[in-house]
Amino acid sequence: MKRLVSIEEYNDIFSEYRDTPIGLLLEYHNLNRPPETYSSAKLLIGMCMDNRKHLYIPDNFAYIIRAGGANLRYSEFKVSYAIAVGNVNYIALIGHNDCGMVNLIARKEQFINGLVNKAGWDRNWAEEHFMHFAPMFEIGNEVDFVVSEAKRLRLRYPKITVAPLIYKVDDSRLYLINER
């Protein structure tokens, strides 16, 4: 987590994000900027589905896609829609510490037992389901994954600004990632 940059004041926001919707996101969430009124979204936020995260942003400010690990690989049509139809030019990709998509193999038995006991699945189906999908959704290290996903999205959408961020669940704050 040494690559994380704390946002305590406006000048902590990287210059390329200041006075953009990404900078506004950081101002609203971390710096308690008073909410403004929006009639259309200014950015797309891709973030994990984890229930411990809540963003402080005004209504109508952003499209939000929640997917395990902030992995947007399987939500690309929605990303394209937000850009093409929703007219957003910025994406904030927000991972978080203590993510359940890290080291999925350690949760294999819990996952399988949960599907068997709670959902009524056959054990073999549950195990096959895990083995098929876990490699697709495993993210490894949260910071490295968010940076690599931001790079992938930049290549896919070269005119769109993509910022990788981390949400720390212990202090509920957003951090920029120093990619250098």
pLDDT in tens, 49-97: 999 889 999 999 999 999 999 999 999 999 999 999 999 999 999 999 9
Q: State whether 72 and 153 are in the same domain.
A: yes
Q: State whether 58 and 36 are in the same domain.
A: yes
Name the percent of the chain in helix, strand, coil, to the closest 5: 40, 20, 40
Tell whether the model's pLDDT for residue 1 goes beyond 70: no
Candidates 106, 76, 93; CA nearest to 142 is: 93
Q: State whether 22 and 107 are in the same domain.
A: no
> What global pTM score does this model have?
0.93
Sign of the C-alpha dihedral, residues 147, 153, 159, 160? negative
Q: State whether 19 and 56 are in the same domain.
A: yes
Query: Per-residue pLDDT averaged across 85-112, rounded?
Result: 94
Q: State whether 124 and 50 are in the same domain.
A: no
Q: State whether 120 and 40 are in the same domain.
A: no
More confident residue, 103 or 62: 62
Q: State whether 30 and 11 are in the same domain.
A: yes
The reported pLDDT for the residue numbered 42 is 95
In 126-138, which positions are buried (b, 16+ CB within 10 angstroms) versus exposed (e)? bbeebeeeeeeeb
Q: State whether 148 and 130 are in the same domain.
A: no
How confident is the model over 20-44, as pLDDT tens digits?
999 999 999 999 999 999 999 999 9
Query: Per-residue pLDDT averaged across 125-140, rounded?
Result: 94
Helix H or strand E encompassing 164:
strand 161-168
Q: State whether 110 and 147 are in the same domain.
A: no
Q: How confident is the model at residue 2 (pLDDT cuts 50, 70, 90)?
A: confident
Residue 131's alpha-carbon distances to 24, 37, 107, 112, 120, in angstroms, are 41, 46, 12, 10, 18
CATH number where 153 lies:
3.40.1050.10
Q: State whether 24 and 81 are in the same domain.
A: yes
Number of domains present in the structure of the chain: 2
Share of the chain above pLDDT 70, in %: 99
Domain extent, residue 168, equals 4-100+140-177
